[in-house]
A and B are shown apart, each in its own frame.
Chain A
Amino acid sequence: MLYREAGQFKTSYAADQAIFPILQDRWVFWGFMIVAFVVPPLTGSQYFMGPILTQLLVFGLAALGLNLLTGYAGQISLGTGGFMAVGAYACYNFALRMPELPLFVDFILGGICAAFVGVLFGLPSLRIKGFYLAVATLAAQFFLTWIFDHVGWFTNYDPAGVASAPARTLLGSWATEAGPLSFLAPINILVTGPNASPETKYLVTLAMVVVLALLAKNLVRSSTGRAWMAIRDMDIAAEIIGIRPLRTKLLAFAVSSFYCGVAGALYVFTYLGNADTEAFDLVRSFQILFMVIIGGLGSILGSFLGAAFIVLLPVVLNITASTLGEGTLPSDTLSNLELIIFGGAIIFFLIVEPRGFARLWQIGKEKLRLWPFPH
């Protein structure tokens, strides 16, 4: 079946406004979903599911969060790491202190806490724009990580300041054999902690990410998304058509921080297992911003493509370097080389396609639409 929209007639506005109006896109989406849910657990490779896929999904989610703020609402933020940390530590404390709560509720609550903090640090966005705002958001980054380092309560007074994800089940302690909701026990699987299987962690992460990504897709194509894009493209005109700038921007900060917060929580609970604030430092914020830029500003799919690029590039570099330069390269030279190539790749990519993978994907689709008759 060729990739065509010709001949696919839509008779209602509802059909025209579906997420994937083109039939082939729907097929690809569902095919991809099936592969994503079925294939990795079958491989059984812990490395593949953990450091590669789970990490990719988590960072993709964070990048999606930042993309909502930067790509859709046009507000640059360098505080992503800070907001992820809020989500992670809030989720940790909910899970630790209220084991009755289902784990996915912990994730959501972590996200909501991050959303509140995000709104707080988004307040200056009313008055300041662009790079001034970007630098101001660094306040969130530095202040939040400092507070998690200095206030012991957040890490349950762990002497090393490390938050270790406790062993928790998907539906919480009430849904165990002994609890009041014991009928749910059979499906109440262990998700976190040392005994949880990598498959479960991966699948839970994947499910969260898929649901949140679809919600985000809906959000950006509805009135909320249009208000964000209006503010991004021309804030003066947006205000003149009646959009309230502060409310719209703060909503963007809230939703974006929610996504980052959930990503932070997932990062600790389903990938790292335990973390201190170094997992959420400034480098992380930049990393996420890179994913957004390289993936494509204002694209949901792009966020994940960007995440894939940033997560996989070091892996590829590592493999290449260790096969080529085993023994001849001292490790510090290798890490410097990696820095240079990473930075160089980013510059190269920005020069070649400043609008990111999402744009390449779009161009590819447009070409495919005409193929095999290019004119």
Chain B
Amino acid sequence: MGEQSIKDRITFHESLETMEVDFSRMTFATKEEIDAFYDEVDRRLAVSKRRWYFLVNYVDCVINPEVWSQFAERGKKANVSHGLGTVRIGAAAETRDTIRKRARTERFRANLYENRDEALFALSEMRKRRQVAGTDADSAYLSVEGINLHFGGITALQNVGFGVQRGEIFSIIGPNGAGKTSMLNVISGFYRPTSGQIVFEGKDRTQLPTHAVARLGFARTFQNIALFRGMTTLDNVMTGRLLKMNSNFLLDALYWGPAKREEIKHREYVEEIIDFLEIQAIRKTPVGRLPYGLQKRVELGRALAMDPKVLLLDEPMAGMNLEEKEDMARFVLDVNEEWGTTMVLIEHDMGVVMDISTQVVVLDHGEKIAEGTPDEVRTDPVVIRAYLGEG
């Protein structure tokens, strides 16, 4: 085992309600090694007699694929008995993939982060979410503050602000022309607001160009499908991986070595999404030939391939029949649950909105007229008036 004793690798941060487990530079080759470590973990947890957040450092940690299931089993056990939630740092690509795969089948959140800062931030967000119920724009994961948007003399949005918590399904509703899509365009960086601020993970990102916003972890789908019509389903979903690919065009041209390996690695990732969305059969069909409902699904796939932190959905169920709507709602919920992706959703179908969202904001004529849980919004007289008119 490593140069550090197991004891030193487990530290408790009382102030953060966090137990930090340091797997860095360790190698787990046999079941015995795993058990040795986790026995110590369990012992310490049992002594503490309370629940903790887990911060797990995977930097340069190697886990023998044969013992992965034992490893995961012990981890899960610890989590069930004493855990509040887990964030993971610096996992190598393979570890990362394995964790993701397990996260999907076992239904937990992968919460993989590049570095400690990110992880700590996420952790603090998780704690906040547990402590504070309700919304508080200052502490929100994504907060939109005082947005004004003008086109020439037309006012599309007027002083709109709200906060989105991490992991929630946040809906924007309102009558036609209320400025919902404009709002989504502002969030996705496609429109730059005339004034106001958008703060994401504590950083102001109002001035970033569209593609840089995507880099921060925003993905979206469009009201009128915006797929790349000349490309196949597979290629469309693969474009979602572009941000995660590092090869340059010279290597691409040779299609050799790292470029080829990378291509295949991402292909595997994309195939999982294709499986998840049940679109295997149309993998190599040009998307222009697909029916509407499937195109919507491919578009969702492309957004998911970006592995987004925030997924913006612009009327994902518009123009669908009941069955397709149910499918789509299931996908949205699954994504939210399995990846823990934060969702901002525009939808006209009130049934769906009320069923799946955790928070709802209502816009009318470019202004926010109500905000709250689905039940609060449903009974709000202002909202009813906006939808049904006076009297």
B151 within 8 Å of A by Cβ? no
Within the assembled complex, what's the spacing in Å between the Cα atoms of A255 and B248?
Answer: 13
Interface hit among B132-140, B226-234, B341-349: B226-234
Q: Which of B60-68, B169-177, B252-260 participates in binding chain A?
A: B252-260
Give the complex CA separation of A45 and B161 in angstroms: 77
Contact A241-B302, Cβ < 8 Å, known A218-B254, A223-B252, A234-B228: yes
Judge whether A219 and B252 touch: CB under 8 Å. Answer: yes
> How far apart are the CA atoms of A315 and B242 in the complex, in Å?
46
In the complex, how many angstroms separate the beta carbon of A261 from the nearest chain B beta carbon? 16
Chain A interface: which of B4-12, B20-28, B93-101, B208-216? B208-216
Interface digits, A222-260 against B, CB 8 Å rule (1 contact, 0 not)?
111111011011101111111111000001000100000
Residues of A within 8 A of B239 (CB): 226-227, 230, 238, 241, 243
Please determine whether B219 and A241 come into contact, CB atoms closer than 8 angstroms: yes
Interface size class of A (residues with CB under 8 A): 20 to 34
Given A218-B254, A226-B242, A243-B211; A237-B249 close (CB under 8 Å)? no
A223 to B211, CA, bound (A): 16
Name the residue among B231, B235, B239, B263 with the largest chain A CB count within 10 angstroms: B239
Contact residue among B219, B243, B253, B306 (Cβ-Cβ distance under 8 Å from A216): B253
Q: Is the CB of A14 within 8 A of B260?
A: yes
> Which residues on A sit within 8 Å (CB–CB) of B108?
none
Whether A222 touches B243, Cβ cut-off 8 Å, given contacts A232-B230, A233-B230, A237-B227, is: no
CB <8 Å contact, A241 and B242:
yes
A13 at interface by CB-CB < 8 Å: yes
Minimum Cβ distance to chain A for residue B182 (Å): 14
Inter-chain CA distance A136–B276, complex, in Å, is 46
Q: With A215-B254, A237-B228 given, is the CB distance from A242 to B263 under 8 Å? A: no
* B241 and chain A: residue at smallest CB distance: A223
Asked if residues B253 and A236 are in contact (CB atoms below 8 Å), the reply is no
Q: Does B38 contact A (CB under 8 A)?
A: no
> Is the CB–CB distance between A239 and B210 below 8 Å?
yes
A79 in the interface (beta carbon within 8 A): no
Q: A215-B254, A232-B230 are in contact. Are A227 and B242 (CB under 8 A)?
A: yes
A210 to chain B, nearest CB (A): 14
Distance between B236 CB and nearest chain A CB, rounded to angstroms: 8
A223 touches B306 (CB 8 A): no
CA distance in complex: A275, B70 (Å):
73
Supposing A227-B242, A242-B306 touch, asked if A222 and B228 sit within 8 A by C-beta, the answer is: no
Report A-chain residues with C-beta under 8 Å of the C-beta of B242.
223, 226-227, 230, 241-243
- Say yes or no: is B198 at the interface (Cβ < 8 Å to chain A): no
The 3 A-B residue pairs with the shortest CB-CB distance, nearest first, are A242-B214, A233-B228, A237-B226
Give the A-binding residues of B (Cβ under 8 A): 188-190, 209-211, 214-215, 219-220, 222, 226-231, 235, 238-243, 245, 247, 249, 252-255, 259-260, 263-264, 267-268, 271, 302-303, 306
Residues of A in contact with B (beta carbons under 8 Å apart): 12-14, 17, 215-216, 218-219, 221-227, 229-230, 232-234, 236-245, 251, 255, 298
